[in-house]
Chains A and B, each alone.
Chain A
């Protein structure tokens, strides 16, 4: 891949997905885009780039999709899910006792492991009968979302992070693969969504999980997303980022929920207006 094509690609990803493609990723780009080029009938990636510059939407989308990082695993960073089970869920069940409604959004759901991890925790909490729980999961990659909806995972994927009891309880073995039960699959609504687009469809949310997506974001795109998150998140809601992600330089709207659990935030309380004392 030549330098001009690479820089065109970097610009495309920044524009379309807020994605920061670092300059040392030529090898990654070549290996990811080879299959896309073949699928569209190009012999080499430079032919793909010649076509891409005419900006056909479906090709640009396929290229963006192929470049996304879809790394995910069940209960990734156990402490975050323990915190959801032990602190976030009980606190919201008590705060929403009147409405009995809870809305949770996995904003960078990748191939579904995170959303299904939350669904399994919610199932174990045995609240489905009395509560209306919306568990919405979205990702910019339509390939990842299609896999998530399918709910099939390899031996390697179910060996990572998933406790054995949970595996035998919620998964059925199907040859070399494991498929998550229909009951859990039906708890999650998956949707193809770019975090840079309008959040109008979403409505108010009580918990946002957006873990390890901002690691690859341009700083401005991260700021814009966090601002949008603060607008859709309930005042007493929670936001979970990845364990190594911080708000530094990106948002002042959130504060750490518990210093011992990295990546979990609540909305900062708005500053109190000074009260004029009667003289």
Chain B
């Protein structure tokens, strides 16, 4: 079973996304912000981190995860509300593998998981 961490300040979004992931047979964990997200990753590095790049500190979370010396390199997918090439470029250069536009559904997630080799 693959392990996914959802990082988003909105409790509602975390619940909805975790539910989607569980339906897709993922083990889903959640964090409201980057500090607790990083702690979760230190305890056990997930296979994939789905992180809202609109929240303060989360771009830095992506950079910190890429600096991490952990054996496992998680797939990082940034979630964003605006489809903007500058923002996508920034996310990729911080170390994200993919992005997905909010709001997203199961098909959009599946698409991104396939592109990154998770499914």
Q: B-contacting residues of A (Cβ < 8 Å)?
A: 75, 78, 155, 159-165, 167-168, 171-173
Contacts and interface: CB of A to CB of B under 8 A. Distances in A.
Nearest to B117: A78
A78 B108 contact: no
B101 A159 contact: yes
B115 A163 contact: yes
B111 A159 contact: yes
Interface stretch (B43-51, B52-60, B80-88): B80-88
Nearest to A167: B88
Given A160-B111, A164-B92, A172-B85, 19 more contacts: A75-B115, A78-B115, A159-B101, A159-B108, A159-B111, A161-B111, A161-B115, A162-B115, A163-B115, A163-B116, A164-B91, A164-B96, A164-B97, A164-B98, A164-B99, A167-B88, A168-B89, A173-B84, A173-B85
Contacts of A159: 100-101, 108, 111
Interface in B65-103: 83-85, 88-89, 91-92, 96-101
B101 A165 contact: no
Nearest to B108: A159
Q: Which of B83, B84, B91, B114 is the most central at the interface, judged by chain A CB atoms within 10 Å of its CB?
A: B83
Contacts of A165: 92
Given A78-B115, A155-B83, A159-B108, A164 B88 contact: yes
Q: What is the predominant secondary structure among interface residues of chain A facing chain B? A: mixed
A168 B85 contact: yes
A255 to B, nearest CB: 28
B101 A155 contact: yes
A245 B97 CA distance: 32
Nearest to A173: B85
Nearest to A160: B111
B98 A163 contact: yes
Nearest to A155: B83
Contacts of A168: 85, 88-89, 92
Contacts of A155: 83, 101
A160 B116 CA distance: 13
Shortest Cβ-Cβ A-B pairs, 7 listed = A173-B85, A155-B83, A164-B98, A163-B115, A168-B89, A164-B99, A168-B88
A172 B101 CA distance: 18
Which of B85, B96, B101, B116 gathers most chain A CB within 10 Å?
Answer: B85
A162 B85 CA distance: 14
Interface in B16-45: none
Interface string B105-119: 000100100111000
A75 B114 CA distance: 11
Contacts of B98: 163-164
Contacts of B99: 164
Contacts of A160: 111
Nearest to A174: B85
A167 to B, nearest CB: 7
Nearest to B101: A159
A78 B114 contact: yes
